[in-house]
Amino acid sequence: MSMSMPHSSPAALIATETLNPPPTHLHIASFIAHVRPEQMNELKHWLQACVHFEIHAEHALGKLVLVTESNNEQQIVQRLDELRAQAGVLNAALVYHEQIALEELAAEEQPL
């Protein structure tokens, strides 16, 4: 007895857009990082080289407030993990997260 595989039509295939839909929101997040003061300059150099972070505030005793923008929550978590993995970082925590619909942003940019 021969078993044949069901034939799938091109319409039955999953499109790339379904797997990776375009972003619908802008995610803005801020972190606070506690850093060994003697390693603050090294971390700041890494942050400045990394296009994902902006240093919003800093204190010489080893505290940084950072802001990031992304397309989704997963990117925020990945960036937080990257930050925590850097030399001298004692801890880093998410302190703020906001998501704004891209439609709203586009509407705000339209002239009246």
Confidence label for 112 from pLDDT (cuts 50, 70 and 90): low
The Cα angle at residue 54 between residues 21 and 60, in degrees rounded to 5: 150
64-99, pLDDT tens digit by residue?
A: 999 999 999 999 999 999 999 999 999 999 999 999
> Of 61, 52, 67, which Cα lies nearest the Cα of 98?
67
Q: Could you read off the pLDDT of 18-75 as tens digits, one per residue? A: 666 778 889 999 999 999 999 999 999 999 999 899 999 999 999 999 999 999 999 9
**pLDDT at residue 8 greater than cutoff 70:** no
Would you state the pLDDT for residue 109?
Answer: 75
CA pair distance 2, 14, nearest whole angstrom: 28
Q: Cα(100)–Cα(98) distance, rounded to whole angstroms? A: 7
Structural domain boundaries of the chain? 24-109
In words, the CATH class of domain 24-109 is alpha beta
pLDDT of residue 87: 96
